[in-house]
Chains A and B, each alone.
Chain A
């Protein structure tokens, strides 16, 4: 690989620039932060809060300071509406879990001391750690090695508004091909930890649907470990609930992995839908692509998207892109969108980010109306089209159909 390219146009990435103190030909000399142990290693020097590399991780809730709302990773979240998930013991009954799966898939309920619990991640925030400490048991879904055409649906049904904890582990065995759908319905106040272990050579499509009842409060930390030449397609779809905060993290455990992270959200009046994702490139020759799209309508509809991509010094040959696009349909909404890209090596194939938040494109509307389509229908067509770009990524016809219906129902609410 002789070509290097990054979307960073600042001095860090200027190829062929005169030598600058502290820089090597591989980029800025940040070796103290680049512990050879990679993402699991503890940095020996203090890393600024702005760097994702310095975010603490721990299984213990007491290792995280009580939240004030001023923390970088909580600054957009209305803590008052978290239902106590960040401070109270989560003693409520966990939502029920029902698993439907093709033959060969094993489903177990295990204690939190099981070896598979903790195999894909360590909590990255206080709510996640609180959930970890409070969970009574974990559901482990295992797709056997080399299995093909596997379909799993995990239905999580909330049955009450007492703060609770939930733990789920999904293991995609080596070289398996599987689709796992995690479907959240009902009413719940829940801190959820989902571990997604994609073993070497496996290809997993993981869809998490947040179609909760309107009073639900849901904080879901979804951590994925991606093995050698493994492929994860993670799709988050949020449209229900009062407050939903999904934080997917993808970590590469070996070279050659690929992570695609897609998201779709539709926030109505008063709803807070937050997605914060992290792609940790610590291994060479891995690819990641992130696309989240959302629509907002109604007074107080609030969406948050934060995309952290960290390309560590060892992650040469990384190819990474992230984008977030928001479509604002009415007045009174707020969309926060923050792409963060940290690059510690210049030897990469690509790294880029994009974020747009805009109103309706009147040119699109004019074009469709000039073809006889009435305004209301034209608007729907454009919104549907906007979100469809993500739906088209799923590749499961019946699920695409269901999401199209969901979008239709949300749009019908706009008209009334």
Chain B
């Protein structure tokens, strides 16, 4: 079992108006095999947490720690974090012109595993994973995310999740912009990865509808850069009915 531990994390960004603190002391422990949903209103710092774990240079950690099985994640470069077993499914996947999906997937897999995948198995794995996610095989020859629709980009994120087999996946609003069918396909992909690799999942979402397909063990409500409430799946049901108003009123 592996553990991703976040302790009293404070994160700020530089804006034109000066330094702005976004995360104000977040603590969270995730074990492999567990699914944690992070919910909260817009601007509460959910995506900042995701990007900080992945090491995006825009975010500065001012205090606190992130460790993976005791190893200091904050000391690692972005690529080292990925090779250590962290995966961020991005809210806005980036287009990389001129680099084909096939080339990209193989290059990344080789980097993560430290050796090139066996060609025969790899080709089969990619094909199967693409079929499971209902991705057109022609996408293999297209450039990374270039001209993909929002839904296609999200599927391709989950394709990578299934192929790279991380210990922990952070899904940053993977459900946004998906129609019901795509949401189902994507959720099934996440569930497959979790089942096969006993992955730990940090599911960041604004809406409860994805939780119908991916069942969380824990739900954390984020308000103003802090966890305002934690609980089991029943907390999500309550949010579905009540929305975030009661947290925002307290804050006001």
Contacts and interface: CB of A to CB of B under 8 A. Distances in A.
Contact of B108 (A362, A363, A371): A371
B99 A381 contact: yes
Given A364-B94, A377-B107, A381-B107, A370 B99 contact: no
Interface stretch (B75-83, B218-226, B233-241): B75-83
Interface stretch (A204-212, A247-255, A385-393): A385-393
Highest count of chain B CB atoms <10 Å: which of A366, A375, A392: A366
A372 interface: yes
A369 interface: yes
B115 to A, nearest CB: 12
Nearest to A382: B96
A374 interface: yes
Interface string A370-404: 11111101100110111111001000000000000
A372 B56 contact: no
A367 B108 contact: no
Interface residues of A, number: 25
A364 B57 contact: no
A368 interface: yes
A377 B111 contact: yes
A387 B111 contact: no
A242 to B, nearest CB: 28
Contacts of A377: 107, 111
Contact of B96 (A381, A387, A392): A381
A385 B96 CA distance: 7
Interface magnitude class on chain B: 20 to 34
A392 to B, nearest CB: 7
Given A372-B164, A377-B111, A381-B107, 19 more contacts: A364-B94, A366-B57, A367-B90, A367-B94, A369-B77, A370-B54, A371-B82, A371-B104, A371-B111, A372-B83, A372-B108, A373-B79, A373-B108, A374-B111, A382-B99, A384-B99, A385-B143, A386-B98, A388-B97
Interface string A91-126: 000000000000000000000000000000000000
A372 B82 contact: yes
Interface string A209-223: 000000000000000
Nearest to B111: A372
A200 B108 CA distance: 49
Contacts of B164: 371-372
Q: Which secondary structure dominates chain A's binding surface?
A: helix
Contact of A386 (B77, B97, B103, B104): B97
Interface of B: 54-57, 77-79, 81-83, 87-88, 90, 93-99, 103-104, 107-108, 111-112, 143, 160, 164
Given A372-B83, A372-B112, A389 B107 contact: no
Contacts of B81: 370
Nearest to B105: A371
Nearest to A392: B98
B57 A389 contact: no
Interface of A: 361-364, 366-375, 377-378, 381-382, 384-389, 392
A243 B73 CA distance: 49
A336 B94 CA distance: 28
25 contacts: A362-B57, A366-B78, A366-B94, A367-B90, A368-B96, A369-B78, A370-B54, A370-B78, A370-B87, A371-B108, A372-B83, A372-B111, A372-B112, A372-B164, A373-B107, A374-B79, A375-B79, A377-B111, A381-B104, A381-B107, A382-B99, A384-B98, A385-B99, A388-B97, A392-B98
Nearest to A361: B94
A367 B111 CA distance: 14
Given A372-B82, A377-B111, A367 B93 contact: yes
B79 A385 contact: no
B83 to A, nearest CB: 5
Given A366-B78, A369-B82, A373-B79, A389 B111 contact: no
Contacts of B54: 370
Contacts of B107: 373, 377, 381
A221 B186 CA distance: 55
Nearest to A384: B98
B74 to A, nearest CB: 15
A361 B99 CA distance: 14
A389 B98 CA distance: 5
A388 B146 CA distance: 14
Contact of A370 (B82, B96, B103, B143): B82
Given A366-B56, A371-B112, A373-B108, A378 B79 contact: yes
Nearest to B79: A369
A354 to B, nearest CB: 14
A388 B98 contact: yes
Contacts of A382: 96, 99
Contacts of B112: 371-372
Contact of A367 (B55, B87, B96): B96
Nearest to A368: B96
Contacts of B96: 364, 367-368, 381-382, 385
